[in-house]
Amino acid sequence: MTVHVTPETLDLRQFLKPGDHIVFGQACGEPVTLVEALIEQGQHIGGLSAFIATSFSGLFTPESAASFRLSSMGAIGALRSMTKVHALDVIPVHVSQVAPLIAAGIMPCDVAMIQVSPADADGNHSCGLISDYVRAAVDKARVVIAEVNEAVPYTHGELIPASAIDVAVKVSRQPVEVAPTKIGETDEGIARHCAEFIGDGSVIQTGVGAVPDAILRLLGDRKDLGVHSGMLGDGLVDLIEAGVVTNARKEIDPGVTINGALIGTRRLYQFCDRNPAVRMTPTSYTHDAAVLGQLSRLVTLNSALEVDLTGQVNAEQSGSAYMGGTGGQVDFVRAGARSPGGASLMVLAATAKGGTLSKIVPALSGPVTTARTEVDVVVTELGAAELKGQSLATRTRRLIAIAHPDFREDLSRAAHEIQTRGF
């Protein structure tokens, strides 16, 4: 039977044991009331650890490590500061593998802390803003603690029955919001080159941020675009309301936008509330190779920290600083590159640190997130380098052509040295 408590009366010591492993809902589905409670009470329980894939709340800080040890799949969102002081354990994992690893017990989940909408007439709660690995955590956990938030939209798709919730904490507070990022000249330049790959009837997968927003603004004259993505922001609303996104030509889920995470503002949340044209699904559907393989004209958009002269991508770490994560990149890169009429776009600015550092590099400074065998098209504000099916020498020439002119001579010299030694 579900125990109903208020935030003021929630005593986690009644439900948690020393040494428990906790899995949080992530991104804008982060249960901030429960996170706040765990930060306040966790040190009195002892030995706790927790996992969250991304966080934008700002609640996780080096100081919160006194209450529990936090792990994540990368330094995404507001978690980057924690890696600098070694207060975050990074687990290299694709987001699509989090749920299977929880189910298998490899990523332990004793307690699931999630955020859901109020229940419907049948007693089912919507996952609301995030549905990726939530159900897997609920199914595995000994204790499910749900923040039932009146401000969370009821979205179609993944549901949590009230019977699966052990502790319900009713709140009414605005969920985490992520405001659109300011679009700069570099973002607009990248977007122009990306938009050339998106034609009428294309199915798009994108993230959130300045470049995705800039791309979406350029698609107003397209017809019958579809969406199948792991996350979406406010820009989706504009395209649906303008009649650009109809999902009419998708081979599967016609007429419906498929998504796993809503990362935006109240405008996006209100638009998706009880909207049958938007369906929230777990990663077993959004990222699944068999599902994605049914979509033609799939254009996927992913970002990189740096790309080497053969096409290897690092999206995780710059030197000793962990700055990103694997996310769903590899799943969508492979799907877009193999989709008939589609493309996989890997985007990055040509330079960093005020133009003093090239992001097209002779050798990566961090790990290989996406292998060169998977990379299709690399895009900077200076152009698009189509790499799929090309020799190493051709790849090198094309990548140097989209690097900043200030670095092309050094890159050409490095390429010559590499070719002399052999790739």
Phi (first) and psi of residue 96, to 5 degrees: -70, -15
- Encode pLDDT of 251-308 as tens digits: 999 999 999 999 999 999 999 999 999 999 999 999 999 999 999 999 999 999 999 9
Proportion of the chain above pLDDT 70, given as a percent: 99
Q: Are 191 and 299 in contact (CB under 8 A)?
A: no
pLDDT 10s digits, 342-382: 999 999 999 999 999 999 999 999 999 999 999 999 999 99
How do residues 70-85 score in pLDDT, each as one tens digit?
A: 999 988 777 887 887 7
Distance (Å, rounded) from C-alpha 164 to C-alpha 145?
A: 10
pLDDT at 80: 81
Count of helices and strands (H, E) across the chain = 13, 26
How many whole angstroms separate alpha carbon 160 and alpha carbon 125?
5
* 2-17 tens-digit pLDDT: 999 999 999 999 999 9
What domains sit in the chain, N to C, each tagged with a CATH number? Answer: 3-171 (3.40.1080.10), 185-421 (3.40.1080.20)
pTM: 0.95
Q: How many other C-beta atoms lie within 10 A of the C-beta of residue 365?
A: 15
